[in-house]
Amino acid sequence: MSKEYSAFKQAQQEFDKVADMMQLDKSYRSVLREPSRSLLVNVPVRMDDGSIKTFAGYRCQHNTACGPAKGGIRYSEDVSLDEVKALAMWMTWKCSLAGIPFGGGKGGVYVDVKKLSEGELERLSRRYFAEIQVIVGPDKDIPAPDMNTDSRIMAWFMDTYSMNIGKTALGVVTGKPISLGGSLGRDSATGRGVEISTINLLGKQGIDPKNADVVIQGFGNVGAWAAKLLYDDGCKIIGLSDVYGAVYNPDGLNPYDAIERAMKPEDSVSNLLPGKKITNNELLALECDVLAPCALQNQLTAKNAKSVKAKIIVEGANGPTTPEADKHFVEKGILVAPDFLANAGGVIVSYFEWIQGLAFLFWTEREVNNKLSALMNQNIDKVYVLAEERNISMRDAAYIFAIQRVADATRLRGIYP
């Protein structure tokens, strides 16, 4: 990707397109297309050899008109202010569309975690969270895991915040270990959301799940859960891939026979599952009822969009489809469930975790899954109906719902002072 590329400019362009379509008041456009707050912090860490090394940290809050900011924290050498601003903006629309009382936030540290020891990672995490504590809190901004962060790091975040305020605050982060106030069902939530979206849209297209051929790109947490749950629903999984390769079998694949997040080539789905080894491009071009890209961003592009033969695309990853490819799919009549609708299961169950943590009252996994299913199906239904009524894509319809809710909240709250 070119150095001139700006994720935030892309996010603004997507917003501007739909704002024009909605004829949104220009006064509110100027408020909604910029983040409300961006914090840059210097994170000094004592390394194992006794030296002190500093890292750049960020936390951005795009909009809090609907409630506290919500969004992950990532550790990566790709982290930048531009990136977190874009991701925070997209989180605003995701939370708004989901109908949960959050705005969008995002944060990260510019670091290569592979070069850190366990102790250095903990000291980095605690110091970073202490630095951003001035703007986070259970009723201000609730971080969560993202790239290269996990439940262990969320436990360090929660403990750091709790020690600083003198009491346990379960609601300050989500994605925590179950024993520290995490929610049952959180690990499978994003993949389950993809499964719920797939079953819902198959029904709307008059396709019986038991007669549906499904291709899933990516076998990490999201792709693996989506594959297993759709397999349980009776769908035929004819194509799967991971970072090491892809496999195709027209007779169907059993995802339970593969290893989630294979750490070495011999554990790849292409080696563990029976079928023909194929390339990633061949996988995306397979004829199928549903294609679920659940790996990385920018996988469906102008270069390969014309070869896609799926009837439905359900975006499990963030940003797997470029605007050029999306335009082609609309023209071709391929139904696309956009990422901030289809992969919202994670943030919805994070919301459930936040509620449980504030109340110190926890739900069963069945309760969590049932609540997730009800909310996901409600959101998919309303987006699909609007798309049909206006003869627009589901992505545009989803943006209209998301932006309108935040614009209404901003208007009703007014500008202070």
Confidence of residue 1 (pLDDT cuts 50, 70, 90): very low
pLDDT given for residue 250 in this prediction: 97
DSSP annotation string for 118-139: HHHHHHHHHHHHHHHTTT-BTT
Report H helices in 212-360.
221-232, 269-272, 280-284, 323-332, 339-342, 345-359
- What is the mean predicted confidence (pLDDT) over 157-164? 98
Residue 174 in tokens: 């989500």
Portion of the chain with pLDDT greater than 90, in percent: 91
Between CA 352 and CA 110 the distance in angstroms is: 30
Q: Active-site residue numbers? A: 106
Query: Could you read off the pLDDT of 230-280 as tens digits, one per residue?
Result: 999 999 999 999 999 999 999 999 999 998 888 888 989 999 999 999 999
Rounded to 5 degrees, φ, ψ at 68 are: -60, 155
Domain locations in the chain as residue ranges: 32-178, 183-417
Q: Give the predicted TM-score (pTM) of the model.
A: 0.93
Confidence of residue 3 (pLDDT cuts 50, 70, 90): low
Between CA 66 and CA 204 the distance in angstroms is: 31
Rounded to 5 degrees, φ, ψ at 174 are: -120, 170
Note whether 32-178 and 183-417 share their fold: yes
Question: By the 8 A CB rule, do 102 and 142 touch?
Answer: yes
Residue 113 in tokens: 């975690």
What residue type is 178 in one-letter code?
I
Confidence of residue 41 (pLDDT cuts 50, 70, 90): very high
Between CA 152 and CA 150 the distance in angstroms is: 5
Q: Is the pLDDT of residue 171 over 70?
A: yes
Does residue 285 sit in helix, strand or coil? coil
Portion of the chain with pLDDT greater than 70, in percent: 99
Between CA 184 and CA 353 the distance in angstroms is: 8
Residue 126 in tokens: 């605690």
- What is the mean predicted confidence (pLDDT) over 39-43? 98
For the 32-178 domain, the top CATH level (class) is alpha beta
Spatial neighbors of 364 by CB under 8 A, at least 6 apart, are 184
Length of the chain: 417
Strands 236-242 and 69-76: unpaired
What is the CATH superfamily name and number for domain 183-417? Answer: NAD(P)-binding Rossmann-like Domain (3.40.50.720)
Of 134, 123, 126, 128, nearest in space to 110 by CA: 128
Average pLDDT of the chain to the nearest whole number: 95
Query: Could you read off the pLDDT of 20-37 as tens digits, one per residue?
Result: 999 999 989 999 999 999
Query: Could you read off the pLDDT of 45-89 as tens digits, one per residue?
Result: 999 999 999 999 999 999 999 999 999 999 999 999 999 999 999
Rounded to 5 degrees, φ, ψ at 237 are: -85, 105
Integer-rounded Cα Rg, in Å, for the chain is 21
Query: Could you read off the pLDDT of 355-375 as tens digits, one per residue?
Result: 999 999 999 999 999 999 999
- What is the mean predicted confidence (pLDDT) over 154-159? 98
